[in-house]
Amino acid sequence: MSDLVADKVNMVFNTKGGGTVHALKDVSFTLKEGELLSVLGPSGCGKTTLLNIIAGFNRPTGGAFYLGDEEISGPGMNRGMVFQQGALFEWLTVAENVNFGLRMKGSNKKETAKKVEEWLEIVGLQGFGNTPTYQLSGGMQQRVALARCLINDPDLILMDEPLGALDALTREKMQTLVLKIWKETGKTIMIITHSVEEALLLGERLFVMAPRPGRLHKEYRLPFAEEGLTTDPREIKNSQQFIETREEILSMIWDMEEEIMGGTSNAA
Amino acid sequence: MTTVGVLFIVLICLLVGSIIYGRRLLKTEVTDAVFGNPTRALGGWHWIVAGISSILIIWLYFSWDAGRAFFPKAANELCQVAKLNRTANPIRSAFPLDDRLLRSTALLERDYGQIDLLDSKLANANFGDTDRAELKAIISEMRGTLSAQADPKLIAPDAAGRLDDIATRINELAKNLEDDNYPSEADPDREKALQQPGWGETNVEIPTLPITDLGYKFSKASEVMDGISKDFGKIRNNSEAITAKLEALQARYKGFKIDESEGEEITAQRKELVKQIEKIYRRIDDGKIFPSAMTEPVEAALINLEDVKNSAQGSLRWIDAIALPGGDILAGNRACSEQGSGRWLPKPSDTLNTLTRMAEPTEGFMNIPLLWYAMKPAGEVFEILIPDWIADLVPGEYPRHDNEGKVLTNFKTKVYNFATGNYKSMLIPVPIGHIWDSLMRVLAGLFFGILLGVPLGLYMGLSRFAKGFFDPLIELYRPIPPLAWAPLIVTIFGIQDDGKIFLLFMVAFAIMVISARTGATGTQLSKIHAAHSLGASKFQIVRKVILPNSLPEILTGIRIAIGVCWGTLVAAEMLAGTTGIGFVENVARKQSDYEVIWMTILLLGILGLMFDLMMRFIIHRTIPWRGKG
């Protein structure tokens, strides 16, 4: 069992002026293996900080994350990461990007080549192995990033606004791809997003975070991700439940934003 | 017509043709060419042709190569004209023809000025009243003597006649110049003259003896003019009246006794003033001042001669003005020489000849070829790769000679001989020469600069310690012009290659450190994060992510470093050493050999261009993603 457990995680940054910013306060949750979680919140609520801590790029000032039995203390191959801009190595070809992790480990070349073929087919890039990545479109680059992360067979996949920079059409296709991968591989996936609709569609569970200090505000359990595997996402988006939930979350975030803006205007 | 002449005409046709073609093309481009659209600057072959032919036309024209091709005899004829100018010059310079003032006027002005200065000094000087009055009288008598020399009534009786004689002789010479049959006899030295080397074929540049009838006319005239000038120089305005005045003046200032009773300092001041009177006297007693009316006939004769000389030259004047621009041909005591652009801008054909001559491996420059090969034993060539001290590490002792003086070799000796290249090996061709030496120095300096600079730069881009620790050192020495180190480096390393290579290394090192650091710090954090979560180790991240990511900056750094090294190298080779392109240029500079100087400049330009094209090609091939990430 490799569940992700957050135990009273706190993150306090020191600012240059000598003050402190409480980026995360007492964040505790458990993400079971195979669950699909999306995290939503206004900007500055600590979403990315949360993800960076889980990935091991930052260390929390209090509390800890556990993946399975191990405490997370640094970056590792059991957590795959997909970034907003792909963060591909543009001096390498598609195949070299995808097999980067395996090459670093020194895996068998033949097996690696076979795996790369498989994964390129899953993400819909068969035949692009020798293409330089700087020649790919944004959507294709994100597919490479997905394959590059998945080929290492991580326990947990972390996605930091992975579809944020894509156009609407590509985005819809990629959402379906993410659902397909979730279904087929049964991986635990955590997605951070700005878009409420995306969060609803790609979240079996949904956390809404609140800023100042960054904390978990509300949790939802949603049926849409499961439905999305079989139904057209456009139909889901038009369903009564989807619209109601969307409006509820939107007004919730709207209130938070208002609070921040009001606070600043009062202070000024 | 010579090759250069044909080339010149072809180049002009090419220039005109490409401009007409380009103009016509511009008309058809009107529909799509918006001002500011970068595609408008894509140029085209016709503009390249126009540019190159313009440069070559200007070069051929101002170096007088084109003029020489079309008028090969012009320089010799102009040399004869220049001889006439040179011989006429002593007389001309006495008249306001090339200067502003008549010489007599200028002398009077100068002498009066000095007398006035003396007068004002006397007013402030420490003299007794009687002495002062006497000195004042002497000074005023000096003025009188000067004005007497300008007086037509007091002129020396023979001087007037001699001046008229000079005028008559000049007029006669002018009449002869106008005469087509002058000189009446044929040139006795023509046979010899025709055998002189041609224009530009030797260091003398221009053949001196006249090779045409026109030239002979001027040559003859210059001989006559030489005699006239010498006679003019002997004329003195020293009539009895003036001589008497001068003698009286001399007796008077020599009779003046300095009062030495008031201490040494004042006596010294008085002596100084009296000495100045004597100085001025010496200037006014040489009889070089004439009444201005007396010299008018000579001046008129000279003006006439100038007119006649110009018309007698005929088309030669136009050739001088149009085909040989930017300077003249001047005659010296022995030879004629080109002045102006004809002198310092070497003729392309001569430069090409020099280059061909020097490219010949047996000739070269100072007996070293520009770029050639020599057969050397392979052992000597690779010896540099094996350090000599490995022989010391072999167990045992080096052999000593025995009582019969024999030296036995052992294994240690063999290793030593191998390390020093002292063994029989087959001959292999090795490049040698000035260009090769320069090239190797640049590449060696660059190699060590990259080898040490890139790792340090990357380290500085990744570590707070390294950045802080090394930054002041590098930033302090980087702005120092490399040549400022030269005296130190010559002292430390001597004048051999190591010093030059070290100098180049320092230049390349700083550039490589800074570019590698810029590259390393410019790596996106998300790429590093990605590499971490893909399981890469620290070393793998540097090797597989940061290094390739810095490659654009590193390659740009190498491109800049090559250029700077190349510039530094030439300057360094000028300081010391016996080979290299800079050495060639330095020697040529000392010999004022403009052809070799220009040749080295062209060579450096071409080599620099080749390096840059090579780097551009490498950059294009190795980092095609640049600007597309």
Query: Dihedrals φ, ψ of A232, to 5°?
Result: -70, 125
Quick check: B520 pLDDT over 90?
yes
Lowest-pLDDT range, A215-219, A264-268, B477-481?
A264-268
Q: What is the ipTM of this complex?
A: 0.91
CB-CB under 8 Å, B529 with A55: yes
- Minimum-distance CB partner of A134 among B527, B533, B625: B625
Mutate to test the interface with B, among A49, A84, A90 (most CBs of B within 10 A): A90
Dig out the tokens for B434 from the structure: 């000035």
CB atoms closer than 10 angstroms to residue A139: 19
Nearest chain A residue (CA) to B621 = A91
Predicted local confidence at residue B91, as pLDDT: 93
Quick check: A267 pLDDT over 60?
no
Predicted local confidence at residue B364, as pLDDT: 82
B545 contact residues in A (CB cutoff 8 A): 89
Quick check: B29 pLDDT over 70?
no
Share of chain B above pLDDT 70, in %: 97
Containing structural domain, residue A201? 4-78+154-267
Mutate to test the interface with B, among A78, A82, A91, A192 (most CBs of B within 10 A): A91
Contact status of A83 with chain B (Cβ, < 8 Å): yes
Predicted local confidence at residue B111, as pLDDT: 92
- Give a yes or no: residue A9 inside a domain: yes
Contact status of B536 with chain A (Cβ, < 8 Å): yes
CB-CB under 8 Å, B624 with A134: yes
DSSP 8-state secondary structure symbol assigned to residue B365: B
Q: Kindly indicate the confidence band of residue B33, based on its pLDDT and cuts at 50, 70 and 90.
A: low
- Minimum-distance CB partner of B535 among A55, A105, A145: A105
Contact status of B620 with chain A (Cβ, < 8 Å): no
- Minimum-distance CB partner of B532 among A75, A84, A152: A75
Instruction: Decide which of B379 and A151 is more confident.
Output: A151
Task: Tell me the Ramachandran region of residue A157: left when phi exceeds 0, alpha when psi lies from -120 to 50, beta otherwise.
Answer: beta
Predicted local confidence at residue B1, as pLDDT: 56
HSE-up of A74 (CA within 13 Å, CB side)?
Answer: 7
CB-CB under 8 Å, B624 with A132: yes
Mutate to test the interface with A, among B528, B534, B628 (most CBs of A within 10 A): B534
> Tens of pLDDT along B443-469?
999 999 999 999 999 999 999 999 999
Q: Right CATH number for B434-622 from 3.90.550.10, 1.10.3720.10, 3.50.50.60, 3.40.50.300?
A: 1.10.3720.10
Nearest chain B residue (CA) to A151 = B534
Q: How far is B549 from chain A (nearest CA, A)?
A: 8
| Mean pLDDT of all residues in B361-376 | 83
CB-CB under 8 Å, A91 with B623: yes
CB-CB under 8 Å, A75 with B529: yes
A89 contact residues in B (CB cutoff 8 A): 527, 544-545, 548-549
Quick check: B30 pLDDT over 70?
no
Q: Kindly indicate the confidence band of residue B204, based on its pLDDT and cuts at 50, 70 and 90.
A: low
| Mean pLDDT of all residues in B558-585 | 87
B532 contact residues in A (CB cutoff 8 A): 56-57, 75
Predicted local confidence at residue B90, as pLDDT: 92
> Tens of pLDDT along B104-147?
999 999 999 999 999 998 888 888 888 889 999 999 999 999 99
Query: Which among A119-128, A217-226, B7-16, B328-337 has the top mean pLDDT?
Result: B7-16
A133 contact residues in B (CB cutoff 8 A): 625
By CB neighbour count within 10 A (0-12 exposed, 13-18 middle, 19+ buried), where does B583 fall? Answer: buried
Predicted local confidence at residue B32, as pLDDT: 63
Q: Kindly indicate the confidence band of residue A265, based on its pLDDT and cuts at 50, 70 and 90.
A: very low
Q: What is chain B's mean pLDDT, rounded? A: 88
A83 contact residues in B (CB cutoff 8 A): 526, 529-530
A75 contact residues in B (CB cutoff 8 A): 529, 532-533
The Cα A197–Cα A211 span in angstroms is 20
Mutate to test the interface with B, among A100, A116, A144, A157 (most CBs of B within 10 A): A100
- CA separation (Å) from B425 to B384, B409, B418? 15, 19, 11
B629 contact residues in A (CB cutoff 8 A): 90, 134
CB-CB under 8 Å, B532 with A104: no
CB-CB under 8 Å, B526 with A87: yes
A58 contact residues in B (CB cutoff 8 A): none
Quick check: B75 pLDDT over 80?
yes
The Cα A191–Cα A80 span in angstroms is 12
Q: How many CB pairs under 8 A join A and B?
A: 72
The Cα A84–Cα A86 span in angstroms is 6
Chain centroid to CA B603: 17
Contact status of A48 with chain B (Cβ, < 8 Å): no
Contact status of B627 with chain A (Cβ, < 8 Å): no
CB-CB under 8 Å, A90 with B628: yes
Q: Pick from B502, B501, B491: which is nearest to B580 by CA?
A: B501
CB atoms closer than 10 angstroms to residue B24: 11
- Give a yes or no: residue A86 inside a domain: no
> Tens of pLDDT along A142-176?
899 989 998 988 989 999 888 887 888 888 888 88
Contacts of B81-85 with C-beta under 8 Å, sequence gap 24+, read B81/B218, B81/B309, B81/B313, B81/B316, B82/B328, B82/B329, B82/B330, B82/B331, B82/B336, B83/B218, B83/B219, B83/B222, B83/B331, B83/B336, B84/B218, B84/B221, B84/B222, B84/B225, B84/B309, B85/B331
Contact status of A105 with chain B (Cβ, < 8 Å): yes
DSSP 8-state secondary structure symbol assigned to residue B363: T
- Give a yes or no: residue A136 inside a domain: no
> Tens of pLDDT along A91-108?
999 999 999 999 988 888
> Tens of pLDDT along B609-619?
999 999 989 98
CB-CB under 8 Å, A100 with B534: yes
> Tens of pLDDT along B281-338?
888 888 888 988 888 999 999 999 999 999 999 899 999 999 999 888 999 888 888 8
By CB neighbour count within 10 A (0-12 exposed, 13-18 middle, 19+ buried), where does B180 fall? Answer: exposed
Predicted local confidence at residue A257, as pLDDT: 80
Q: How far is A223 from chain B (nearest CA, A)?
A: 31
Lowest-pLDDT range, B126-135, B245-254, B415-424?
B415-424
Q: What is chain A's mean pLDDT, rounded? A: 86
CB atoms closer than 10 angstroms to residue B401: 9
Helices B434-462 & B581-590, crossing angle to 10 degrees?
130
CB-CB under 8 Å, A91 with B625: yes
Contact status of A104 with chain B (Cβ, < 8 Å): yes
Dig out the tokens for B390 from the structure: 């490995």
Nearest chain A residue (CA) to B526 = A87
Contact status of B544 with chain A (Cβ, < 8 Å): yes
Q: How far is A28 from chain B (nearest CA, A)?
A: 23
Helices B45-62 & B3-29, crossing angle to 10 degrees?
140
Domain ranges across chain B = 3-62, 69-345, 373-430, 434-622
Q: Kindly indicate the confidence band of residue B541, based on its pLDDT and cuts at 50, 70 and 90.
A: very high
Q: How far is B537 from chain A (nearest CA, A)?
A: 8
Lowest-pLDDT range, B17-31, B159-173, B253-267, B341-355?
B17-31
Instruction: Assign residue A33 the CATH number of its domain.
Output: 3.40.50.300
CB-CB under 8 Å, B529 with A83: yes
Q: How far is B618 from chain A (nearest CA, A)?
A: 15
Task: Report the domain count for chain A.
Answer: 1
Predicted local confidence at residue B318, as pLDDT: 92
CB-CB under 8 Å, A132 with B530: no
- Give a yes or no: residue A212 inside a domain: yes
Predicted local confidence at residue B627, as pLDDT: 64
Quick check: A268 pLDDT over 50?
no
- Minimum-distance CB partner of A132 among B530, B551, B625: B625
Q: How far is A48 from chain B (nearest CA, A)?
A: 12
A149 contact residues in B (CB cutoff 8 A): 533-534
Predicted local confidence at residue B467, as pLDDT: 92
Quick check: B67 pLDDT over 80?
yes
Dig out the tokens for B227 from the structure: 């005699």
- Minimum-distance CB partner of B533 among A75, A105, A134: A75
